[in-house]
Amino acid sequence: MWQELLKEQKWWGWGEPSRRFDFSRRPYFWPHLRSLLPLPGKAFRFPPPLEALQLPPSRLTGLALSELRRILPDARFSLEDRARLIHTYGKSYRDLMRIRLGRLDAPPDAVLFPETEEEMLGLLRWAGSHGIAVVPRGGGTSVVGGVECVPVALQRPVVVLSLRRFDRVRKIDPVSRMVEAEAGITGPKLEAVLNKEGFTLGHFPESFHYSTLGGWVATRSAGQQSTRYGKIEHMVESLRILTPSGIWQTPAFPAAADGPDFDQLFVGSEGVLGIITRVRLLIHPLPQQRLYTAFLFPEFTAGAEAVQHIVQDGFLPATVRLSDALETDFFFALREQPVSRGKRVWQEWGLKFLEHQGYRSSRRSVLILGLEGSREQVRRQFKKLRRIFRRYGAYHLGPRLGQKWYRHRFDNPYLRDELLNFNLLVDTLETACDWSRFWSLYQEVCRAIRQAYQQLGIAGIVFAHLSHIYQTGTSLYFVLLAVPDPGKELEQWAVIKKAASEAIVRNGGTISHHHGVGLDHRPWIAREIGPAAVKLLRQMKRSLDSAGILNPGKLIPDAEADSTNRT
């Protein structure tokens, strides 16, 4: 079973093993990047051969192993090194760099592939009786350490419980516009089934091709069209969760006043309180039309004011992605070069024209706008939004750039793999705050990251965009690029991550808008939610998982958090 993963995904990077980011018609990118950072002359930090990596032996032996065989046949669990390796980490910079450096000292002892809830309950009872930690895993795309085995877990054997076999759509209710699906289903498979019936979930995170429904719910995921369709927690109507204490099925009502909302207890629980096995969700009719286009604002602040204006006036575009000046320059540097000489000349003339009109590269801000719905809805909304954007000095670049962004919107992780080959530190972090704090938060986080670069004595840049907007505020998504000292990559990343996280919390932002808490954000969660909430989380953990076997060391702050090794 695990062999399928090697065919589907890179064990050392992102996505299809045979696919790389296509630079063939993007000649402007590398010169632009080299104008900002002292890149090495050639790539040198490649992943090691799979066969060269050595793992400590599995500790799952004796009675525990023989009892496991009574629950699962040998074909549906593995103690092999390669299976354990590809289930060791997620897909963050820190994860992928540890693979390239050969730091694999915390692998699981086994990988389990149950096919029924009865098997899963049996595995939880088995793990509890032997004190074995269990890490639930969907697509393994976490970028905050949500699926790795941590030191607190490694004091005892730890197994990964894969939900790959829980991947069916169980029911579509076209009248109520609901779907019930199993938690291990991936985005493409779920959408394909819904599309055949004329529906969409409308949830498209950048990890869409490999992440799973259960992972989205467990981490409070947001898709690229969330302004129209909502984050995943806005779509959930009921959940089925397996815990060491038994099965928890929340009721399915469109609304109720029957006490606290227990769906939201498990949404965002990251496998710490229970394992989500089924989800019932709101779905939407497929839009008749999708219009993706681009606008250019003279500066980031003007674009932000325009975006705030439209959302507070009640407009809900599918996608709103506004880049700051530095990210806008990268947007243009990644443009494709036209094949014909005439079109190349026209493209260059267009860029010079924009500069002449006041859209200068040191200040301008590009907005990707996506509208979905009926043809009449899209037509009317675009007409009104274009009129509003003009008040803020926006220039309409046309649909071609927006459509290209839409076609390539899942490609960025492939670009990251190429940059890692040059040993670049490439990471992202995200937050959200209210509109009144947006600008100061943006400035202070950028300042903190640049100061961290300076403290470390390394060259680096940071840029950002807002991509999920609300009447009261917005998300901010930061991208970090730096040239770390070889051999000190992880230690320097930890310094930068801490500086950025402190700046976010200090300036009124949430530690995470949609990546989740996991291991990376755990040190800051108590300051955000407060001691009473932390105490309640611990009590719920003890009630649902008294042996503490489920995904230990994640989400919930406790005394062990201080001893967690971050490098």
- Per the prediction, the chain carries an average pLDDT of 95
Domain of residue 370, residue span? 289-409
Q: How many domains does the chain have?
A: 2
Q: Is residue 342 part of a domain?
A: yes
pLDDT over 60 (residue 450): yes
Asked whether residue 247 is domain-assigned, the answer is yes
CA dist 175 and 165 (Å) reads 28
Q: What is the tens place of the pLDDT at every residue in 535-549?
A: 999 999 999 999 999
**Model confidence pLDDT, tens digit, residues 415-442:** 999 999 999 999 999 999 999 999 999 9
Q: By the 8 A CB rule, do 430 and 478 touch?
A: yes
pTM assigned to the model: 0.96
Residues 275 and 387 in one domain: no
Q: Are 195 and 286 in contact (CB under 8 A)?
A: yes
Please list, in sequence order, all residues whose beta carbon lies within 8 angstroms of the beta carbon of residue 152, skipping any fewer than 6 positions away. 552, 553, 560, 563, 564
Residue 16: pLDDT over 50: yes
Indicate if 309 and 266 belong to the same structural domain.
no
Any domain includes 222: yes
* CATH number, position 233: 3.30.465.10
pLDDT > 60? residue 565: no
Q: Looking at residues 325-342, what average pLDDT do you find?
A: 94
Q: Are residues 293 and 281 in the same domain?
A: no
Domain endpoint, select from 265, 285, 305: 285
State the pLDDT confidence band at 8, using cuts at 50, 70 and 90: confident
SS3 269: coil
Residue ending a domain, among 393, 409, 425, is: 409
Among 248, 270, 285, residue at a domain's last position:
285
The number of beta carbons lying within 10 Å of the beta carbon of residue 315 is: 18
How far apart CA 154 and CA 319 sit, in angstroms, is 42
Residue 306 pLDDT class (50, 70, 90 cuts): very high
Residues 327, 382 share a domain: yes
**Cβ pair 395, 359 in contact under 8 A:** yes
Dihedral, 484, 488, 492, 494 alpha carbons, nearest 10: 140
- Secondary structure (DSSP) of 386-410: HHHHHHTT-EEEEHHHHHHHHHTTT
**Residue for token pair 């076999």:** 165
Residue 561 belongs to a domain? no
pLDDT at 478: 98
pLDDT (tens digit per residue) in 39-57? 999 999 999 998 889 899 9
Instruction: With H, G, I as helix, E, B as strand and everything else as coil, classify residue 235.
Output: coil
> Is there a domain that residue 217 lies in?
yes
If you count them, how many residues does the chain have? 567
| Average pLDDT value for residue range 331-354 | 92
Return the half-sphere exposure (C-beta side, CA atoms, 13 A cut-off) of residue 66. Answer: 2
Task: Assign residue 355 the CATH number of its domain.
Answer: 3.30.70.3450
Establish if 370 belongs to a structural domain: yes
Distance of alpha carbon 97 from alpha carbon 491, whole angstroms: 11
What pLDDT score was predicted for residue 564?
42
Question: Cα–Cα distances in Å, from 529 out to 231, 533, 557?
Answer: 20, 6, 11
Instruction: Give a yes or no: residue 482 inside a domain.
Output: no
Condensed to tens digits (0 to 9), the pLDDT of residues 139-148 reads: 999 999 999 9
Residue 488 within any structural domain of the chain = no
- 314 shares a domain with 272: no
State how far the Cα of 504 lies from the Cα of 496, in Å rounded to an integer: 12
Q: What is the pLDDT of residues 471-527, one digit of tens each?
A: 999 999 999 999 999 999 999 999 999 999 999 999 999 999 999 999 999 999 999
